Amino acid sequence: MVVSALAFYSSSQFAAVKLVFNYWDPLSITEYRLNQLTTANFITEIEASLAEDDIAEAGNLVGLARERGHEIPAELVDKTKESVFQFGLRNIKDFINGATTGEATSATAIGGALAADYVGVGDVRDAVVQGGYLVQGKDYDKITLGLSLVGLATVVPGTGAVDIGASVVKTANKAGKLSKPLRNRVGKLASEMVELSALRRGLSEVKLPTFRTPAIREARSTFSNLKWPAVMRGDFSSFGALIKSMMPIDVGAAKMSFKGAIKPGVYSEVASLVSDASSITKVGGIKTTFRVLEHADDARDLSRFSNLTAKFGEQTSAVVKMLGKTAIKLGRLAYWLATMMIAVLGWVLWAAWLAFSMVRGTTRLFARNAGKA
């Protein structure tokens, strides 16, 4: 019995049993699933990230694998390393396009769109363009319009959880990175949130200027002095001068023009949701937030992913890439765990019966011996 107990304690089944008692904790679920992955699993995902030109993600996967004792081939690891200069040179054009148009056609264009939102000009552009479509009776992007107005409703562009989170969720939607349930919910809230009369007033007062494409030297100078860790966590302050020179918009005046375009009652629910998105961004980075938004169905899922990010930081994106929503939910594993618990309960009952039988037998033996004496 002791031998079988020791064997069970050192087996993967014991890890599963521990998970049963922590089924509510996303960290326990994630750790269990990560520990079941093989070296081949990690190598496959690293190669997939490199094929997508996602070098940063490939690097995070390497770190995640090494922390769990997996040996990754050196030649593959070398491909996950890139200097700041190489990154900037490779991505300037896409960044500028994302900043001026707000289109999220690539990872770098997404960065440009977020930078424009950070200083406020992106939100003004989106509010004018999508708001114009709405009042003209044309098809418009509900989420882009609603969240651009949320961004303009903050005290100072580029500060506060709501502004950063709203920008990330808005841009994730443009890139097609919102799960269907989350997109439907945010879209419904965004459409209910807009006060049409105040929007019309704002549109009558705000006009967009002609956007100026900066010289390559000017853009390269900005990129060469960036602090990328801060940028990847949503701090785009280093881009302020460049973005404002490209799009000379009086953001303060635009904020006043669109004042009242958001209904407070609906806004509070949206603010709560985008605040979670901001928390994830500040700890895990923009990539992590985008990855999470693909798998979160609602605010509760976002909260669970936020707890996960507090544990894994920037590696959360790699974790979610490997595990998907199963990083925070048991899914089919629940059935296996239930079976495991039945088996464990059976073993415990058997062990208890065996111990009871041994004690009873020993007691009777001593009693008989005492009677003979």
Q: 343 and 196, same structural domain?
A: no
Average pLDDT over residues 300-320: 89
Are the CB atoms for 308 and 316 separated by under 8 Å? Answer: yes
Q: What is the distance, to the nearest Å, from the Cα of residue 29 to the centroid of all Cα atoms in its chain?
A: 17
Domain that holds residue 282: 84-297
Binned at pLDDT 50, 70 and 90, residue 271 comes out as: confident
Shared domain for 347 and 276, answered yes or no, is no
The DSSP symbol for 68 reads: T
35: nearest Cα among 53, 55, 59, 18: 18
| Domain end (from 297, 320, 352) | 297
Number of other CB atoms surrounding residue 206 within 10 Å: 20
d(CA 234, CA 100): 18
- pLDDT tens for 55-114 read 878 888 999 999 989 999 999 998 888 655 556 555 677 888 888 888 888 777 888 899
Separation of CA 115 from chain center: 18
Which domain-ending residue is among 247, 272, 297? 297
What's the CA gap between 152 and 262, in Å, rounded? 10
Cα–Cα distance between 232 and 230 in angstroms, integer?
Answer: 5
Assess if residue 101 is contained within a domain: yes
- 3 within some domain: yes
| Predicted pLDDT of residue 82 | 66
**184 and 107 in one domain?**
yes
Does any domain span residue 129? Answer: yes
Is there a single domain that holds both residue 220 and residue 362? no
Any domain includes 264: yes
Q: Please compute the mean of the pLDDT values over residues 189-198 and round it to a whole number.
A: 93
pLDDT in tens, 165-192: 899 999 999 999 999 999 999 999 999 9
Question: Does one domain contain both 143 and 259?
Answer: yes
**Do 19 and 97 share a domain, yes or no?**
no
| Same domain for 273 and 371 | no
Query: What percent of the chain lies above the pLDDT cut of 70?
Result: 75
Residue 349 lies in a domain: yes
Q: What is the DSSP letter of 328?
A: T
Of the chain, the percentage scoring pLDDT greater than 90 comes to 32
Contact 80, 58 (CB under 8 A): yes
Nearest by Cα to 234 from 130, 296, 157: 157
Shared domain for 270 and 203, answered yes or no, is yes
> Residues 292, 361: one domain?
no
- Give pLDDT tens digits for 314-372: 889 999 988 888 777 644 444 444 455 555 555 556 566 666 566 665 665 555 555 55
Is position 57 within any domain? no
Dihedral (CA of 121, 124, 127, 129) sign: negative
Say yes or no: 4 and 123 in one domain. Answer: no
Question: Do 345 and 272 belong to one domain?
Answer: no
Q: How many domains, in total, are found in the chain?
A: 2
- As a whole number of angstroms, the distance between CA 219 and CA 287 comes to 23
Asked whether residue 292 is domain-assigned, the answer is: yes
What is the pTM assigned to this prediction? 0.73
Indicate if 238 and 368 belong to the same structural domain: no
Q: Looking up tokens 């500028």, which residue turns up?
A: 96
Identify whether 166 is part of a domain: yes
Neighbours of 331 (CB within 10 A): 12
Of 118, 100, 116, the C-alpha closest to 212 is: 100
